[in-house]
Structure formats: structure tokens, C-alpha cells
């Protein structure tokens, strides 16, 4: 089967039958405590998520696919501790009541994705959610529409730094990350650094003012069944290899 046909099949199966597998990646404070999990999507036939969403955008069904992903992730995460970070594209904010009906404000962090611009109706809905007590994060800061300009307009509660910014920082080019941390702190937002490939980076990022971290070195995306069978009170990068969690299986 050609790749385009495989991706189209994954999209159709998700929209028609909800065939989508939620996985969860831990987010840790720099003090090594688990803050929560970001929900991500996988497809049973192995299609790349980015390819499926790109096809959905071309077909005008991205919002519908988002809704399947959101509802599936919320249901699957029922027994996970901490906050649940959910990616949301701009059109969903036009109906904030629909988002609020999905999950309680104490449980969720809405991550505004970098894929779409935010219009006046989107911003009004986002503001309404914040007024209702919901936490909003700006995802992939430094990529796509997640610019400094958007930071000033959205004024999110959390800023998630895009992976390349963190990797450039690790290579010794500090200024881009420092500019983002300074800007986030200027509006009172917490900072999460994504794309952590080496647990030894965490101490340096903490010294830069980063509040939390996420990446393969600290835990790969896995189904909720994995995360409820291990101790996620503290991560370890010790002898068992990167991303192995401290503690024994219960």
C-alpha cells in the first residue's frame, strides 16, 4: 500500500471509528518531580502523526481529528496523576464551552499549537478559558506561529520552548533560550524546555530559569498502562539508561 493510502486509511479509521492510540510523555519539574503528562497520538497502522494531521488539514477535517484525539486522551488518562497537557489548535477556542465540558480546569493544560494563526474569536475564547481557571500553554515557542508577538498577545501561563532552541542551547548558543526565558518570566509564565536528549542538561537549564523539562532522555511516550505500573515520583538517568524511572514496578 502506498504511503499516501496508508495515511488516508489512518485518518479515515480515526474519524469513523476512533482508531487512535493515545500515548503520554512525562513532564518533570527541574526539581525532578513529575508535573504531569503530555498526550500524544499514534495510529494503529504506524502512520506518522504529522502526516495524518497534514492530510486532515488539507481535507478540512483537522478539527474533527483533534476532537477524537482529545476525547480519547482524556478517557485514557483517567488514572494518571498530575496535569494533563493537551494540544489544541486555534479553531477549538472559538467554542470555549465545548472545551470546558471535556475536562475540569484543575486537571488540564491547553497547549496552543503553532500550526494556526489566532483570530479575534480564537483569542476571545482563549481568554474566557483563562477566566474560568484553565491553564494555557504556548506550545513550541520559536516555531511556526508561536512567536514573541504571539507571546505578548496570548500571555500564556506556560511557555514550552521548541526542541531546536533547547538543542542549540546545549550546543553552546545560549542567547535564543535566554531571550525566551526572559520574555516568559516578564509575563509571569512558567517555562518548559522540550527535546531533552541528555539528563545532564537539566541542571544547566534550571540555572537559566527553566521550570520544567520534557524529552526522550527523561521518558519516552508510552501508553497509560506503562505509567500506572512504575513509580513516577522522580526520574533517573543512572545505570539502567536514559529515561528509566526511579523505583520498582508495583
Q: Which tens digits make up the pLDDT trace of 165-200?
A: 999 999 999 999 999 999 999 999 999 999 999 999
- The helix or strand, by DSSP H or E, that contains position 33, with its residue range, turns out to be none
Residue 247 has pLDDT above 50, yes or no: no
Residue 243 has pLDDT above 90, yes or no: no
Residue with cell 516555531: 143
pLDDT for residue 141? 81
pTM, two decimals, is 0.89
pLDDT for residue 142? 73
pLDDT for residue 143? 65
Helix ranges (DSSP H) in 103-231: 120-131, 148-154, 163-170, 175-186, 201-207, 224-227
pLDDT for residue 202? 96
pLDDT one-digit tens code per residue, 87-97: 998 889 999 99
pLDDT one-digit tens code per residue, 52-66: 999 998 999 999 999
Distance separating alpha carbons of residues 169 and 202, to the nearest angstrom: 12
| Bridge partners for 51 per DSSP | none
pLDDT for residue 153? 86
Poorest-confidence range of 17-26, 143-152, 189-198, 199-208? Answer: 143-152
Mind listing the domains of the chain with CATH numbers?
3-227 (3.20.20.450)
Average confidence score pLDDT of the chain: 88
Amino acid at each position: 500500500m502506498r504511503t499516501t493510502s496508508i495515511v488516508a486509511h489512518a485518518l479515515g479509521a480515526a474519524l469513523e471509528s476512533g482508531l487512535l492510540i493515545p500515548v503520554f510523555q512525562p513532564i518533570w519539574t527541574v526539581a525532578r518531580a513529575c508535573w504531569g503528562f503530555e498526550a500524544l497520538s499514534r495510529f494503529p497502522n504506524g502512520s506518522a502523526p504529522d502526516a495524518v494531521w497534514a492530510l486532515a488539514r488539507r481535507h478540512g477535517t483537522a478539527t474533527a481529528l483533534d476532537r477524537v484525539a482529545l476525547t480519547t486522551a482524556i478517557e485514557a488518562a483517567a488514572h494518571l496523576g498530575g496535569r494533563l497537557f493537551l494540544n489544541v489548535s486555534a479553531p477549538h477556542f472559538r467554542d470555549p464551552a465545548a472545551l470546558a465540558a471535556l475536562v475540569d480546569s484543575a486537571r488540564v493544560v491547553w497547549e496552543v499549537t503553532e500550526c494556526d494563526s489566532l483570530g479575534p474569536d480564537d483569542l476571545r475564547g482563549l481568554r474566557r478559558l483563562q477566566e474560568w481557571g484553565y491553564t494555557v500553554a504556548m506550545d513550541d515557542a520559536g516555531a511556526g506561529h508561536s512567536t514573541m508577538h504571539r507571546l505578548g498577545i496570548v500571555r500564556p501561563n506556560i511557555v514550552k520552548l521548541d526542541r531546536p532552541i533547547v538543542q542549540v542551547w546545549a550546543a553552546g548558543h545560549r542567547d535564543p533560550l535566554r531571550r525566551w526565558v526572559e520574555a516568559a518570566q516578564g509575563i509571569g509564565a512558567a517555562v518548559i524546555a522540550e527535546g531533552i536528549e541528555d539528563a545532564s542538561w537539566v541542571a544547566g537549564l534550571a540555572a537559566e530559569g527553566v521550570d520544567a523539562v520534557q524529552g526522550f532522555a527523561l521518558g519516552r511516550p508510552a501508553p497509560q498502562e506503562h505509567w500506572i505500573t512504575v513509580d513516577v515520583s522522580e526520574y533517573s538517568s543512572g545505570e539502567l539508561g536514559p529515561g528509566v524511572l526511579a523505583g520498582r514496578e508495583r
